[in-house]
Chains A and B, each alone.
Chain A
Amino acid sequence: DAGVTQSPTHLIKTRGQQVTLRCSPKSGHDTVSWYQQALGQGPQFIFQYYEEEERQRGNFPDRFSGHQFPNYSSELNVNALLLGDSALYLCASSFEGGLSPSGELFFGEGSRLTVL
């Protein structure tokens, strides 16, 4: 049973470019959340998707957008990249079924984005 998978694992972009990161949740999970982890910090919540809709959003600008597909996989898009967007982007999946969190919340290995 594959856990949470993310791609790509590493990528380098330049300022002003756009990036798309992808996440496949753990089998049986229906909810995907994205987090940004800057070097030496704890992860910061970006947003969460359930039933193909953004359900909750953290304190991130509109340059950060996402999508969830019918198979529950998800994409994170970042436009007009800034140097400060360099970070590890983590995807987490859980099963909620529209109810309160079930407890299990698993993370992928992350996509490390470097903006030059």
Chain B
Amino acid sequence: GEDVEQSLFLSVREGDSSVINCTYTDSSSTYLYWYKQEPGAGLQLLTYIFSNMDMKQDQRLTVLLNKKDKHLSLRIADTQTGDSAIYFCAEIPGEGTALIFGKGTTLSVSS
């Protein structure tokens, strides 16, 4: 496909784990990113992974990369109400330096 694809919505309960999935377009992408956007705000860089890695962990965040399937996931452990936001997956394709974004996944956390 031509687009970075993400599911649009995810709803979880506080304390549960959240897993947000993404399918990207270019098997030669160098970097893959996860950004968080709260209402009316800019994009906050959560984490990124270089294409030669399969996994990256940073506190409550775990990123898994499956290059064969061009699949990226973000797992948030012990999800809190403050994690409610829109999460964007993005790639830098092999040719170029521009980020290509998905449409974003809205994460709703209920207490």
Contact = CB atoms under 8 A, between A and B. Distances in A.
Interface of A: 6, 31, 33, 35, 40-45, 48, 55-56, 58, 88, 90, 92, 96, 100-101, 103-110
A9 B80 CA distance: 29
A92 B50 CA distance: 19
Given A101-B31, A101-B92, A42 B101 contact: yes
Contacts of A56: 96-98
A100 B96 contact: no
Given A42-B88, A43-B101, A101-B30, A90 B96 contact: no
7 A-B pairs closest in CB distance? A42-B101, A45-B98, A109-B42, A107-B43, A110-B42, A107-B42, A42-B103
Contact of B99 (A6, A41, A43, A55): A43
Contacts, number: 64
B98 A41 contact: no
B50 A55 contact: no
22 contacts: A33-B97, A41-B103, A41-B104, A42-B90, A43-B43, A43-B88, A43-B101, A56-B96, A56-B97, A56-B98, A90-B42, A92-B99, A100-B97, A101-B30, A103-B50, A104-B45, A105-B31, A105-B48, A107-B35, A107-B45, A109-B42, A110-B42
User: Which of B42, B48, B102 gathers the greatest number of chain A CB atoms within 10 Å?
Assistant: B42
B24 interface: no
Contacts of B90: 42
A104 B50 CA distance: 11
User: Which of A6, A103, A109 gathers the greatest number of chain B CB atoms within 10 Å?
Assistant: A103
A105 B45 contact: yes
User: Which of A31, A42, A105 gathers the greatest number of chain B CB atoms within 10 Å?
Assistant: A42
A87 to B, nearest CB: 13
B99 A45 contact: yes
Interface string B18-41: 000000000000110101000001
Contacts of A43: 43, 88, 99, 101
B31 A42 contact: no
B100 to A, nearest CB: 7
